Structure 1
């Protein structure tokens, strides 16, 4: 007796993600049963089969018809878990989603009768429809109508799911009109007793506050948001999310009030929240959860660091600026919401907050702090362009500007300079093109990874850092202050790799047949200069003697005691991972034998790259030393800077005639 598609699917239980449709039957057979199977417990397995067929097998129009029939049938699925897993499979497969996005959205956006009869399932369907719109070009009109429509007839169990969906939507659609409509619905839901609506209402107030151009308005709104978060965390047990944002608001207000005690308390609270974020994600093995969890950890850790620096330097007015706190809190907001939104959607959806004044002031503050520290040294350790950038800012501030002046048109070739100077970018007009290019390069190097306008690059940095932090978690020493210190060094090291990868340096240029190879000192000096113009200004040195009996290349020191060594090497023969570790890892690890067992190895790879340069994700990793029991005793971040590499335009594919010869 011939088996049905359902029976074949039930038998293929070893690895459902690899079953193609061809193994289940003909396209006609699968298509005939697809809609019915979409409502069954086996639906996730059939979704895997469609995706496997797309990936590994032949795909025809008949397959597309069968897939759309299956997606339409998902509207009849009554199992919460089966629907969620089926949707996750399709949402994670770009080709499947491209084919089925509109059908998936239309099939699952909940109707009134579904909301009334199955409010929790309707909430899940709403989340899936929201995620489809967020990831694709499907028009959001039906979704927005549901999110902002009348709520009085909805069952109580639908209130919290709707409120959470509104919170995610508000992080995606940020136009004032849409935010106002979301706020009205949230107020109505909060009035019906929805805790999530009350929380999302406070989040909306914080979001609105952080985008205010007036510091007075911003501080007032932040204070109101803080009070709402605090009240909720006290009234509702377990609202860690509300407590976290209450602490973020308190931190910003501590900057404004120049309160050393409050700054220190807020720094301690931020570190505690970073630790709790790690625990919240413990045991969640989703790739997105890992990235988002460590992204949130790093954002809170960075905030704690800035609060501690502010508390230590509170007597120096030039080092304390409320707008710097605003910029830091915005980064915390974006990273933390990306993490907590995963309770509603399965895709990483990072909010997009914009406050050009806060960004500009934070960039200026970094330059002022770096220059002030450098002036105390006997010899300068930063590029002269840093001084020139700060001089441009001061000249711009001193330039009279008529109220009738039109805003300066930003040059797409100078995004970093325009972000730094804003409305006074006219000071650039007096500069020659080569000098402007040189200053843009200096600004790009100084603010790489922190400039809000460079989202794709920032997200690469975040993903890499999240993975490295996860690997470092195997080392028990990577905790407390050591974790905070080393995480900040790690972030700046990844930024350095990204910057050098995107912007060719003299030491990364192709080596001519009779030319001399660059030296270790070339990349050592550049890395030291890079760190000296970052948040780590004043904590970086090079060629330190008497470190574990030797001379360390670049040393980053915290509180005068905790130090982290970056050993710098060059490689001319082979840059394979195993070879690098065999040649240099022991020396790099030895430098940390008398301090925290965490260090870095920075290698300039000068091997031949005429055939292509390895991807950035293959150029940085963590190497552990273990004792006899397998316990990690030392961890080294190994970062490879690819030199001797041709420009992309020099990389030519061989023509058929050339390859044949």
Structure 2
């Protein structure tokens, strides 16, 4: 009778996909041999077949799959155990179904394994933590195992422990019982030579995370000072710890805002830049498992922080913490991106990657960063002309924000509609109005939104919610299942260009990130207040993305896209970093030039109603878009307003299908011109138009 191990060997040797169908044995035969195979060198191959069966919901192989965890408990090889977990966790369904039995198998006699086979014990604990982080199981067994872990165990085990403890704090810092236990264990590991530097680094990360969660400047400053001490000590203890040195510089920069110390901010920005330029590897440390390594796009947040710090250093405002809130928000983004993990594999046809970011209570910080952006908007109303954001509206908004802040600091201050008691709004009319007109504002500002809502009319609230929406979607979420993988892809392609280094890499990536987020936000056709508001009884504002209705209706042109993209950059996270200007509108061109100091990147804007095929668009417009980079860095962008009929397309493209990177080299040239191309869908129908009649 053919043996399961033999069939797995044959399939692997032939390079075939390993599935139960390809194995060709009966379910009973596989089930009887699965346990022994899971304990041997062919376990990773069997795990592939198990994952495939769960992905296809093929229930006949359930007995074989159920035998796998018990067999894996006897696996003596670190490599085979790790490879088996990687293969098995290509399936979300397998992780969920087998999670409990796998966790039990991995944690069984963990203390004994720590003494007998410390490397294997570390791999088993990592697998159990991975399942808990992915929410495949409840974390209680993992927490208990961590509470029982000895702080004086074998060196091979202890040196791998700090990162798992740091991940535990990232994931469950708000669970006081386990968080206190983990912090105490890290404090003990600081005195162990095998784990001391990593333990100090993880303690620093914990303190930085607590600073980002704090709600007053005193607590923020205290935690930053303590975090900096841990990072600096780690950097001094080990020469190659550029990660610790970078985080120490981040703390230095944030603390310098309180001293109005522009030189210190600029110096810290240079330290961060040097660390990134000299050793990108600290973001992708090779000794870490793949699922623990940050995505490539995590680098972009650090580059944007550098740009913001340098801008703040050259124009430090009297109210330094106004800039500091935005810097803190960028640090939050960078930290979340660098510490986001992917416990379940993403190259499966069963769904998007599961990305898990640190659990940081960031509502207060996001509020302050958004309010800082609002104050910037009120000081630069010319950047929001398309939304009819005039001086009078800006003044009303600023007064409402200031009044809300005053009421928060002085509870005795009467509210805008009465004496501040609950009887002022017994029916929840203010909340209902905000939910109807400004849901994003309510989500961001919470209670403060109530005070602001009382002071503004409907038109002003709609306008403010449009600003709030743009502010929210312009922040890249580390777990974004569409934009993060697309950024990773574009970064990989752009990195092949020899000129994509240093300041060019830093600045162009910041622009590309905002361009992708712009494409995603404009793909949401349900947003009705992106282009301003109108008074009651007046026609709605012109939305260039929608199909014109009726004879004589205005048709969209590329200048509409230009104004929208121009405004997006001016009002977004790069507003104090980049100089953005429209180009030659009067001469019939509609382009946007972004200046990062001496570096310039032109975004060519086009419209096309013939075809939206990638090859067609490149053949029509790529050479022109690339031409404008001849006198500066060889990088640029092309945005195309797609006006092709949508009635027969049976739907629209997803945001991650709307952008790609390409190159153009003129005849006789020696340097490729790299261009990122994006499509903004116009002439769009409402979703209901695609329903079958």
Q: SS of 1:384's equivalent?
A: coil
Structure 2, unaligned runs of 5 or more: 345-352, 413-419, 423-429, 529-542
Confirm whether residue 652 of structure 1 aligns to residue 691 of structure 2: yes
- 81-90 vs 129-138, which moves further: 129-138
Q: SS of 2:675's equivalent?
A: strand
Confirm whether residue 21 of structure 1 aligns to residue 20 of structure 2: yes
State the shift of 1:152 in Å. 5.2
Alpha-carbon separation, structure 2, partners of 1:252 and 1:134: 30
Counting only pairs closer than 5 Å after superposition, residues 94-105 of structure 1 correspond to structure 2 as 94-105=92-103
Alpha-carbon separation, structure 1, partners of 2:170 and 2:321: 31
Counterpart in the other structure of 1:444: 469
Counterpart in the other structure of 2:415: none
Alpha-carbon separation, structure 2, partners of 1:285 and 1:600: 36
Does the Cα contact within 8 Å between 1:27 and 1:66 map onto a contact in 2? Answer: yes
Counting only pairs closer than 5 Å after superposition, residues 377-416 of structure 1 correspond to structure 2 as 383-384=388-389, 387=394, 389-399=397-407, 403=411, 414-416=438-440
Counting only pairs closer than 5 Å after superposition, residues 34-433 of structure 1 correspond to structure 2 as 34-55=34-55, 59-60=58-59, 62-111=60-109, 112-149=111-148, 151=150, 154-175=153-174, 177=176, 178-193=178-193, 194-195=195-196, 196-275=198-277, 278-280=280-282, 292-314=294-316, 317=319, 320-338=322-340, 348-373=355-380, 383-384=388-389, 387=394, 389-399=397-407, 403=411, 414-418=438-442, 421-425=445-449, 426-433=451-458
Deviations 1:291-336 (A, max 9, x none): 9342221111011011011011025547853333322222222122
State the shift of 1:535 in Å. 3.2
Q: SS of 2:214's equivalent?
A: coil
Alpha-carbon separation, structure 2, partners of 1:341 and 1:246: 28
Alpha-carbon separation, structure 1, partners of 2:386 and 2:656: 30
State the shift of 1:172 in Å. 0.6
Structure 1, unaligned runs of 5 or more: 655-661
Does the Cα contact within 8 Å between 2:381 and 2:389 map onto a contact in 1? Answer: no
Alpha-carbon separation, structure 2, partners of 1:282 and 1:157: 22
Quick one: structure 1 residues 531 and 7, their matched pair in 2 at CA, closer, same or farther if it must change by over 3 Å? same
| TM-score under structure 1 length normalisation | 0.88
Alpha-carbon separation, structure 1, partners of 2:663 and 2:172: 44
Confirm whether residue 590 of structure 1 aligns to residue 615 of structure 2: no
Deviations 1:534-587 (A, max 9, x none): 2343611112489xx99561111122x321111111111110110111111111
Does the Cα contact within 8 Å between 1:374 and 1:381 map onto a contact in 2? Answer: no
Confirm whether residue 624 of structure 1 aligns to residue 629 of structure 2: no
Quick one: structure 1 residues 339 and 16, their matched pair in 2 at CA, closer, same or farther if it must change by over 3 Å? same
- Let me know the Cα RMSD of the aligned residues: 3.4
Alpha-carbon separation, structure 1, partners of 2:328 and 2:460: 32
Alpha-carbon separation, structure 1, partners of 2:505 and 2:567: 23
Quick one: structure 1 residues 284 and 120, their matched pair in 2 at CA, closer, same or farther if it must change by over 3 Å? closer
Counterpart in the other structure of 2:607: 570
Counterpart in the other structure of 1:606: 643
State the shift of 1:498 in Å. 1.2
State the shift of 1:197 in Å. 2.4
State the shift of 1:265 in Å. 1.3
Does the Cα contact within 8 Å between 2:257 and 2:320 map onto a contact in 1? Answer: no
Q: SS of 1:464's equivalent?
A: helix
Does the Cα contact within 8 Å between 1:601 and 1:638 map onto a contact in 2? Answer: yes
Deviations 1:136-190 (A, max 9, x none): 3412111101112362564343223332211101111121513222212222333
Quick one: structure 1 residues 163 and 446, their matched pair in 2 at CA, closer, same or farther if it must change by over 3 Å? closer
Counterpart in the other structure of 1:477: 499
Alpha-carbon separation, structure 2, partners of 1:286 and 1:221: 27
State the shift of 1:64 in Å. 0.9
| TM-score under structure 2 length normalisation | 0.84
Deviations 1:593-650 (A, max 9, x none): 1111111111111112231101111100111124789976111110101122222233
Alpha-carbon separation, structure 2, partners of 1:651 and 1:228: 57
State the shift of 1:125 in Å. 0.8
- 65-74 vs 427-436, which moves further: 427-436
Counting only pairs closer than 5 Å after superposition, residues 529-568 of structure 1 correspond to structure 2 as 529-537=567-575, 539-544=579-584, 553-559=591-597, 561-568=598-605
State the shift of 1:219 in Å. 0.8
Quick one: structure 1 residues 550 and 289, their matched pair in 2 at CA, closer, same or farther if it must change by over 3 Å? farther
Alpha-carbon separation, structure 2, partners of 1:151 and 1:215: 37
Alpha-carbon separation, structure 2, partners of 1:629 and 1:23: 52
Does the Cα contact within 8 Å between 2:114 and 2:154 map onto a contact in 1? Answer: yes
State the shift of 1:356 in Å. 3.0
Counterpart in the other structure of 1:519: 557
Does the Cα contact within 8 Å between 2:69 and 2:102 map onto a contact in 1? Answer: yes
Alpha-carbon separation, structure 1, partners of 2:123 and 2:455: 58
Alpha-carbon separation, structure 1, partners of 2:516 and 2:360: 24
Alpha-carbon separation, structure 1, partners of 2:652 and 2:643: 11
Does the Cα contact within 8 Å between 1:278 and 1:293 map onto a contact in 2? Answer: no
Quick one: structure 1 residues 248 and 341, their matched pair in 2 at CA, closer, same or farther if it must change by over 3 Å? farther
Match among 457, 464, 468 for residue 486 of structure 2: 464
